[in-house]
Structure 1
Amino acid sequence: MNVPISAPYWLAAGERHPQGVREAWSRGAPAMLRTGLFFDAVRLSAEVVHARAGGGDRDAVERVFREAGVECGVIVNPARRWYYVLVPCGTAASWDESGTEALGTACFLGVPAPGRGGPPGAHWLLGPPLGAEGLCGPGAVKAVAVAAAG
């Protein structure tokens, strides 16, 4: 995954210790970022997404997200078997899609290093958004949740 090195740092702009974020990312580790500042996140079960994709094959899983209109901002946490989709700040306040959980104010998310596109550990299934305008629309994420559940 070829991501401009400075592009995703806006995700950490509100952190009290942005240097700690950069240090974690330089080691290839996820950085714990607060949601509800510049982005929220919606958590989807890997079990449900994989059932819709017909398995855990990366291409098939990407296709599920892309067909719903999600083009970037999807994090995989294989250890916990979750997908996290980054959405606009404030989405969590009104999110009500069953089988999912929205992370907003007062939550934290392990965000992988910008260029980390594969295992081991947390990584980007679909690369980080390059700015707030690249966050996933809530409607597209709901479409994934509905498709995955159906």
Structure 2
Amino acid sequence: MSLHEHDRPDDPEGSGSVTPRDDHAAIHIHPRPQRRGVSIFGGAPPVTGWTPGRYLTEGSPAVSWLTRNESEPARAHERWALGQSAAITVGRTFDLIVLPSQLIEATIKAPRDGWAIEGTFRRAGITCGVVVSRRQDTYQVLVRPGTARKWSADEATAIGADAHQPFLHAPPPGRRSGPGAFWLLLCPEASDQLASADMVLALLRGDAR
């Protein structure tokens, strides 16, 4: 999950850094109540120039943090206002570790619903910044910048600034259930809330289950 080899994807829900697996291999997470917060499903006209305060998502500290290194943050705000995912550059504000859903869910006792899976991450110390992919076949964990260069665990893929397509297809802020990609754990509001490599390794080893 080099910066300038390709243009930013026009369709953030399309091909990404991770090859999707068969839908039948994924465990579909039960819908969960949406947390009150930023309104993100209202329509918005295309933007020709960015005017601060134009989008409701601009009032969110988490969104401000997520887009702070984007050269055109209006692109992300426009996508979110339409209820769509936005391509956010990886390797600047955060790196990404992509975990196969089967690997995380295999040792969780039934019911394998969103609450049980969320609890598994929290017990590893990961309290925010986890995206469930559109196909629900991966969990994408936002981690500290530079993590990808040192990552060596074969079970998961680390994406940093040097990745072929260094983008996170970030769901609208506050979206906590499908269809489509959603935040299992909401976006961080500051860099010190990012997960560490050790937290993700503990999750992979099963220390938190």
TM-score after normalising by structure 1? 0.91
Alpha-carbon offset, residue 78 of structure 1? 4.2
Partner of 1:119: 178
- 5 Å-filtered alignment, 1:27-106, equals 27-54=82-109, 56-79=112-135, 81-105=137-161, 106=163
Give deviations 1:80-105, integer Å, cap 9, x for gaps: 51000100111101011121001100
Hey, what's the Cα distance between the residues in 1 that align with 2:194 and 2:37?
15
Partner of 1:146: 205
Larger helix fraction of residues: 1
Hey, what's the Cα distance between the residues in 1 that align with 2:206 and 2:77?
36
Partner of 1:23: 78
Hey, what's the Cα distance between the residues in 1 that align with 2:130 and 2:37?
14
Task: Select which of 95, 110, 120 maps to 2:169.
Answer: 110
Q: Measured at CA, do residues 70 and 22 of structure 1 come closer, stay the same or move farther in structure 2, by a change above 3 Å? A: same
Larger-gyration structure (1/2)? 2
Instruction: Tell me if the contact between 1:25 and 1:31 (Cα under 8 Å) persists in the aligned partners.
Output: yes
Instruction: Tell me if the contact between 2:136 and 2:181 (Cα under 8 Å) persists in the aligned partners.
Output: no
Instruction: Tell me if the contact between 1:52 and 1:64 (Cα under 8 Å) persists in the aligned partners.
Output: no
Hey, what's the Cα distance between the residues in 1 that align with 2:86 and 2:126?
23
Residue type of the alignment partner of 1:135: L
- Percent identity, please: 35
- Gap regions ≥5 residues in structure 2: 1-34, 39-58
Matched, 1:8 2:59: no
Larger strand fraction of residues: 1
How many residue pairs align between the two structures?
Answer: 149
Hey, what's the Cα distance between the residues in 1 that align with 2:150 and 2:120?
24
